[in-house]
Amino acid sequence: MVRGNNVPHVYATGITVKNMDEARERISASLLFGLDEIDKAVRIIKSLISQKHIAKAQDSEAESRIDYLADILGISKHEVISAVERMRQEGILADSKDISAYLLDVGSSERKSWTQLERFGKLERYILNHIPDDSLRISCKQLNDNAVNDSILTSTEKDIRTLLYFLTVKGYIRKKEDANRNMEIHRLTDMESITKRFERRLEISHFTIEWLYRLAAETAKGTSQNKPVQFSVVELLNQIKSNSQSLFSGFNNLQLEEVEEALLYLSKIGALKLEGGFLVLYNAMNIQRIKDSKSRYKQDDYRMLNEFYKQKIQQVHIVGEYANLMVKDYNSALQYVQDYFQMDYKKFVSKYFKEERVSEIQRNLTPQKYKQLFGQLSQRQMEIISDKDSRCIVVAAGPGSGKTRVLVHKLASLLLLEDVKHEQLLMLTFSRAAATEFKQRLMELIGNAAHFVEIKTFHSYCFDLLGRIGNLEAAKTLCQKLPI
């Protein structure tokens, strides 16, 4: 795979004004620009016109990247994008259809995009109505459980997090989350203002879905039904304003930011797949598949790096040995340092680290810690602990044979010797007693780091997948409710 640049452009061929004087006059007379925005818009269009003429003289493409304009003008990217959209709305820049919308269910009677919008709208209304005037302190799992119990059966923990993220980014709420995943949610404005803004966004979203369905139906005639619909934000804004339905009678003062917010909302909840344009928080990456699929990197390419990191581990042990010698025998420590700088490295290692000590300096543990963790294991148990290549290991043994011990020590080995992060580990057991036993034994081996390793029962893990609070009655039919 090859990743390309992911930066939005304003193509200089889209400039409709004849010269800078006309551009300045139209920007100054426009009601879309505030007093503090006029100067920035003038600087942006001046740079675009200048780049257009330079490119024409050099017979090349004009430089018009948003990132580039923001850097050379000392203006934030958000302000550049906002000014460009307003100039498109005013007709100073051509209104190019730079957004592609994918409605994957075009031609189907299910209307999945509409159903998705209805589902998220119902869940969002529930969340907003349950945030009190002061604050709401609750876990995401508990909030999802409450929603399901209040007849919003399609609610999931992932959907709630998606909505909370959107509401936070767009300034509806402020959210804090502690290490135990308990959230504290505050409304940033009064309930009436938030509800009005939410209902307005929902109306815009409904109109957008219906309008795109109509465009998609026209586009799909005689062609593939997966073909995207091309449109622009300004075009959508004008469509809403010109709509004669009584539902949109109060939308004469509709702002571009409201349309962008609705499109971003539809994109985040998965009702639409949008590409291009400036409304996304992060522009999609441009990734291309390389046709030549031959392996470009082999194990041998990492050999030098592997040797480097092995030697770094050895250096730690070598310094530790020097510290021990300084305590025991000062003269021996001086000779040790002299040999380190004068002797060949391999000869130095063979002189001071003989027999078993050669393997000791290969590990990223002190000999004392290694002995504490693995010193009392049998040879067969050590083979299991030392196996770093097998994808699956089955430990089949009878009662009292040390299965639990092996599993606990294998967990410790994964964390300390194989550099596996605690968030990459999940241990499942059949009973709560076994989970507690594993946690206690692991704490004895690695200390407080064991608190970060997830050890759950199968039922507890299933409840987590569903985003529900666990209870014994629901556990009987829990596995039947898991999404396949």
| The pair of three-digit structure tokens given for residue 146, joined into one six-digit string | 């409450």
Q: Which residues are annotated as a binding site?
A: 397-404
Sequence spans of domains, the chain: 2-94, 112-276, 301-362, 377-479
CATH architecture of 377-479: 3-Layer(aba) Sandwich (3.40)
Give per-residue pLDDT as tens, 58-70. Answer: 655 555 677 778 8
Flag residues of the chain having pLDDT under 70: 1-14, 55-64, 95-96, 98, 104-110, 220-226, 244-251, 276-287, 290, 292-296, 474, 478-484
Amino acid 280: pLDDT:
41
Amino acid 125: pLDDT:
95
Amino acid 2: pLDDT:
53
Amino acid 311: pLDDT:
84
Give per-residue pLDDT as tens, 290-341. Answer: 676 666 677 777 777 878 888 888 888 888 888 988 998 889 889 989 988 9
Three-state secondary structure readout of 164-189: HHHHHHCCCEEEEECCCCEEEEEECC
Whether pTM > 0.85 for this model: the answer is: no
Amino acid 281: pLDDT:
42
Q: How many CA atoms lie within 13 A of 338 on its CB side?
A: 6
Q: Which residues are annotated as a binding site for ATP?
A: 397-404
